[in-house]
A and B are shown apart, each in its own frame.
Chain A
Amino acid sequence: MNNQLDKTMPLREAIRRYVKNGAHISIGGFTLNRNPMAAVYEIIRQKITDLHLYAHSNGTGLDELIGAGCIAKLEIAYGGNGKAAPTCIRFARAIQNNEILFEDYSNYMMSLRFMAGAMGVPFLPTLSGMGSDMLTTWGFSESMRLSDPKIVNKKLAVVDNPFGNWGGAKKVVAVPAINPDVTIIHVQQADIMGTCRIKGLTFADVEQAKASRHVIVTCENLVEKAVLRENPDMNQIPFIHVSAVCHVPFGGYPTAVYGHYDYDAQYLKQFAAAARDENAFTAYQDRFIFGVDNHEQFLKQVGKDRLEAVAADPRTGYSVNMKRD
C-alpha cells in the first residue's frame, strides 16, 4: 500500500522495489488471458530467484517464470496454456525433475484462499475436494512447513461443522488464507493513483490484489482520474490497495487483453516448441527476454505484423480473423 497520489513509475523500478528474491508473489489473469507479461519478463531480466508463486490457473506467465528458474515454490490449481500446451511444458518438466516444490489445490480452493486473505480471516470453508487426494497428498512436508513462518502449518484441514448439520454438511474443508508480499496484475485502464478498470472477466484479480501487501498494476491505458470517476460502477480495484502503477501498452502480450488484443496463438506455439528443447529455449530467451531492455523493445522484436494480427475487433473484443490452429 502506498498513499501517494502519483504512484506511476517505470516497470523496472516497480519490480526492483517490490519483488525481492524469495518474495511470495501472485500474478493475475488466467492461463492465456491478461497475464502481466511485461512484468513477468522484467522479473526474468532482473534475475530474481527463489520466488514463491501462488496462482489458480496460470499458463503463459507461469511457464516463463518456471522456465527462467525464478520459482522455487509453487501453490497452484492448474498449469496449462490452451491448445499450444494443454499442460505447461516447463512446469511439467520442473515437477518431473524434482526442481521445484509444489502443492496442488483446485481453482475454487485457490480463489477462496485469496478471498480469505482479502477478508483477513485465517481460512474459509468449502465442500470441494472431500474424498480427493488433494486432502491427503502434500507437496510441502510438515517439517518444511513448520520451519518457514511464511508457510501455513497444514495444506488443508477437514473440520467439523461448528453449526451441526446446518447447510447439510457435517464437516468442511478449511482452506488457509494467502497474503502475498506482492500481486502483479495487468488491466485495461488505471489512473496515476491506482484505481483500476478491468474489462471482460476479472478472474480472481480483485481478491488477489486485496489480499496482498503490495500491488503492482500495469495498464494498457493510463487515464485521467476524472475519466474513471465518471463511471465508478465499472471500476473494480480502488487505489488504496495499489503500490505502483506502470503504463505498459501491450503489457499483457502474448496473452489476451479483452477489448485490446487477442492471445497470440503463434507466439504461444513457438514458445511451446522452444520450451521442449534446452538449446532452443535458451535461444528463445536470449532473443525475446535477455536480448531486449524492456517491453517496448520486446514488442519490436515480436514485430508489427503479429501485433496487428492480434488487434481486437471493436465489436467482439477479440481478433475475429486470427489464425488459431
Chain B
Amino acid sequence: MDYTLKELMTICAAREIKNGDIVFCGTGISMLAAMAAKNINAPDSVIFFETGAIDSKLEDIPLAVADPRIMYHTSANGGLMEAFCTMQNPMSGARIVGILGAAQIDIYGNLNSTVIGEYEAPAVRFSGSGGACDVASFVSRSIIFMKMEKRKFKKKLDYLTSPGYLDGPEGREKAGLPPGGPDKVITDMGVMGFDEHTRQMFLIGCFPGITPDRILDNMEFEIRTDRAVEIAVPTQTELTLLREKCDPHSLIL
C-alpha cells in the first residue's frame, strides 16, 4: 500500500485519540491528527483551541489556531480565558488530550520551543510557549510530534518551555504540577512511550523498514528498545478518510 510518512504519523497520532476525548489542538500535523481521529476512530471526540473555540465544525482545515475557519459552527466561541479554564479545571481538564510539537525533547518528555543556545542573543529563537506550557502543565496526557534528529532528542534542553516528567517519577509532584504528562512521542521513524515507573522514554515500535539502532543513532540519549514492535501501517480506510475528508486540498499532507 502507498502512503507517505506524514500520513503514517498522522494516523498513528489519531489512533491514540479515544471517543469522548477532548483534543487540544495546535497547528499543522497536530490539527490534522485531531481531524483524522474525528473522521476515523473517534467520531465523538471534541476538538478545541486555546483561542477559545470549542467543537468547531472544521469544514475547511485551519492553518493556524486563530484561523477564522475554527470559528464557524462551534459549540461556543469565547476567548483565551474560557479555553484555559476548560483545560485547567479538574472537571473538564481530566478529559483533555494535548497534541504538541517542539524543537527539542529530553528523555523525560520535557520540551523546548523557545531558544537554541543562550536565552539572550540565542543562535535560534523560536516562537515561544504560546499555550504549550499551559497544556503540558495540565492535561492528563499529551501526544508529541518530533522529527528524529540528534539535535532534537537532547540530553539537556537549551530551555525548558513545557514540563514533561521533569527529572523523573516524582518530578511533577515535587514541582507542584498536577499528575498527567506526556504519553506518546510520534516521530518520523517510530513511536515512543514513557515507562510508568522510571518515567523515561522507551521505544514502543518502529515504522516499517526502520531498526531500533537507526532510531538510537538519531538521539543524543539512550532509550530502552527491548519492547519494540513493528507499528501497524495505515489501512486503506484510514488513508481514504484522511485524504478525502480531512485534507482534500493537501494543505498539510
Contact = CB atoms under 8 A, between A and B. Distances in A.
Interface of A: 29-33, 56-57, 76-80, 82-83, 86-88, 91-92, 95-98, 104-109, 111, 115, 126-134, 137, 139, 158, 168-172, 200-207, 256, 258, 262-263, 265, 312, 316-318, 320, 324-325
B161 A324 contact: no
Contacts of B123: 96
A188 to B, nearest CB: 12
A109 B161 CA distance: 13
A107 B134 contact: yes
Nearest to B84: A108
A316 B68 CA distance: 9
B142 interface: no
A169 B179 CA distance: 12
B234 to A, nearest CB: 24
Contact of A79 (B64, B80, B127): B127
Contacts of B70: 201
Contact of B71 (A82, A128, A317): A317
A82 B80 contact: no
Contacts of B59: 316
B176 interface: yes
Given A82-B67, A108-B134, A127-B177, A201 B127 contact: no
Nearest to A158: B176
Nearest to A85: B127
Contact of A111 (B71, B84, B127): B84
Nearest to B116: A96
Contact of B121 (A80, A87, A97, A109): A97
5 contacts: A29-B66, A98-B121, A129-B134, A200-B68, A320-B60
Contact of B125 (A57, A92, A168, A320): A92
B187 interface: no
Given A106-B131, A107-B134, A131 B172 contact: yes
A273 to B, nearest CB: 18
B77 interface: yes
Contact of B88 (A104, A108, A204): A108
Interface string B51-87: 1110000011001111111111000011111001000
B145 interface: no
Contacts of A137: 119, 159
Given A98-B120, A200-B71, A324-B251, A87 B130 contact: no
A79 B126 CA distance: 8
Given A92-B124, A106-B134, A31 B79 contact: no
A130 B114 CA distance: 16
A204 B176 contact: no
B176 A169 contact: yes
A234 to B, nearest CB: 11
B133 interface: yes
Contact of A134 (B90, B129, B166): B129
Say what secondary structure dominates the interface of chain B.
loop
Nearest to B79: A202
B131 A108 contact: yes
| Centre residue among B64, B159, B172 by max chain A CB count within 10 A | B64
Contacts of A130: 137, 163, 175-177
Nearest to B159: A133
B200 interface: no
A119 to B, nearest CB: 12
B172 A262 contact: no
A106 B249 CA distance: 33
A104 B114 contact: yes
| Centre residue among A32, A95, A105 by max chain B CB count within 10 A | A95
A32 B64 contact: yes
Contacts of A127: 88, 137-138, 176-178
B122 interface: yes
A83 B125 contact: no
A324 B152 CA distance: 29
Contacts of B140: none
Interface in B149-175: 159-163, 166, 171-172, 175
B50 interface: yes
A316 B51 CA distance: 18
B130 A201 contact: no
Given A130-B177, A131-B166, A80 B81 contact: no
Contacts of A320: 60
A83 B81 contact: no
B128 A78 contact: yes
A291 B138 CA distance: 48
B65 A31 contact: yes
B88 to A, nearest CB: 7
Given A108-B134, A127-B178, A203-B51, A132 B122 contact: no
A320 B128 CA distance: 30
Contacts of A204: 79-81
| Centre residue among B65, B129, B249 by max chain A CB count within 10 A | B129
B111 to A, nearest CB: 9
Contacts of B163: 129-132
B66 A30 contact: yes
